[in-house]
Chain A
């Protein structure tokens, strides 16, 4: 299945660890994404949580989601209405948790995408990323079919409800 998503780029740098995405201090208070989204990226971008809009696209450098494997670092992002993260590369556990929670982790060269740029992304086995101001689309890593099936279902929970034995 191919889906198109349009949204505004919200820029971050390299090595954004899961604690920067959502502080583990907040995790002790609640695991509810609706609560945690108020504190999203508070350590490195205090203005983010108030200004994020559903449909925004997080754009980062290399090794996004490194450090602890805590899954709330994905569910809090999903809770804010974000459906796609573009990064140069992802930490492995963040990538897994993203797939399992229906957050599309897309690997591409993000170096020329600026804060606030309008993005248009076609999500399928082949991924095409178009950025306002660029003539050519950006090359993105393809998504394997089994992974795409989980993502398109909205994550592992809805996927296994539909396919009870995988």
Chain B
């Protein structure tokens, strides 16, 4: 029989069967995440399933991140119910202000090589950067995990994405993610794994890989998975208690397709409203004014992202008047790092509106809502109509550097375009 992809290996181990793409398996889950967006409905399903005590409370993680802080009495009531349930059942809870669940799963060392993680939120695919199988599930699935510790999964076929070389200066993993969305379209990887390989992987550090894995769902992928290497080990060491589960794909594994990407050939991209796959080169948008710039989310809200943005502000100055700069660190750890490093003070001095760590403005549940007809440029992963809470707003997606440069210019721009503008004056 042929060799196995990374997904086939992990799902074989977790189901106790020798499985290949297309098989349906029932797997033991290592960790399952729920959020205040999905837990209330899961609690209803759990009760309907006759659930009383959850199967393994320490394998569940609850994060109050979607309505943080609660924007209404109704949201506060739902959160109170989740807190009560978590306490009764002994389920670890990350309360309002601790950050985005996906960031916490990684930061706190729950994502580790060889593990199977699921989350009742589509961006649970993020953890695949840690050489584990991680995918999004629904509230009924989460209830099933609460009841049994298990989930049913169809073993996905895998698309091998071979990265070569390294990104040019001014080009970021966000640009790679947007390029992949352009190449494959919003359903080009549906039901499939994106398995990353090639010498170019080592030029991306662990946090870069989180960005790419996070956005794989925008192409319809079931999960994304990166190889285990030195960069992965360096990030996880000290966070994860057991790194022995690292896996490599077999040389004779069967893939549904292979993409070869020369990282050096990529340029800064911007996704234009209202599809993640609608991407253009940043230069083509320089007549587009912006009213809001958003730095944050489970895609672009880590310390490294804010440092990249600050590099641009230090070189080219303040946000233009009439631009609201919204900053939402992905977690309390990120907020603390920015505080200790002095970056937070710099951002405040630039006039940034600092929002509680959480999902906030990204999904329009709490935080900053754009005005009618506003153009927003954001480090987030989705630009659907209405995404940030106002269906008349237009959301553009780009790297932290392009977002910062756009804030300074007052219209969509890259640092290179700012430099050219300065020189021509």
Contact = CB atoms under 8 A, between A and B. Distances in A.
A143 to B, nearest CB: 9
Contacts of B255: none
A147 interface: yes
Residues of A contacting B: mostly = mixed
Contacts of B190: 63, 89-92
B122 A156 contact: no
B377 interface: no
Given A63-B220, A66-B186, A157-B45, A145 B24 contact: yes
Interface string A27-56: 000010000000000000000000000000
B368 to A, nearest CB: 19
Contact of B138 (A90, A96, A164): A96
A152 interface: no
A93 B147 CA distance: 20
Given A31-B41, A63-B186, A91-B190, A100 B141 contact: yes
Contact of B220 (A91, A146, A150, A164): A91
Given A63-B220, A144-B24, A144-B154, A156 B140 contact: yes
Interface string A59-100: 000110011110100000000000000000111110111001
Contact of A147 (B122, B144, B152): B152
A66 B121 contact: no
Interface residues of A, number: 35
Interface residues of B, number: 33
B137 to A, nearest CB: 7
Given A100-B144, A156-B144, A166-B148, 20 more contacts: A63-B187, A63-B220, A66-B220, A69-B138, A90-B190, A91-B187, A92-B191, A93-B122, A93-B136, A93-B138, A95-B191, A101-B140, A144-B23, A144-B154, A147-B24, A147-B154, A157-B48, A160-B144, A160-B147, A166-B26
25 contacts: A62-B187, A67-B384, A69-B121, A71-B138, A91-B190, A91-B220, A92-B220, A93-B122, A93-B137, A96-B137, A96-B138, A100-B144, A101-B140, A147-B152, A156-B45, A156-B143, A157-B45, A157-B48, A157-B49, A160-B49, A160-B144, A160-B147, A161-B49, A165-B148, A166-B150
Task: Please list the 6 inter-chain residue pairs (A to B) with the smallest Cβ-Cβ separation, ordered nearest first.
Answer: A144-B24, A100-B140, A97-B138, A63-B187, A157-B48, A146-B24
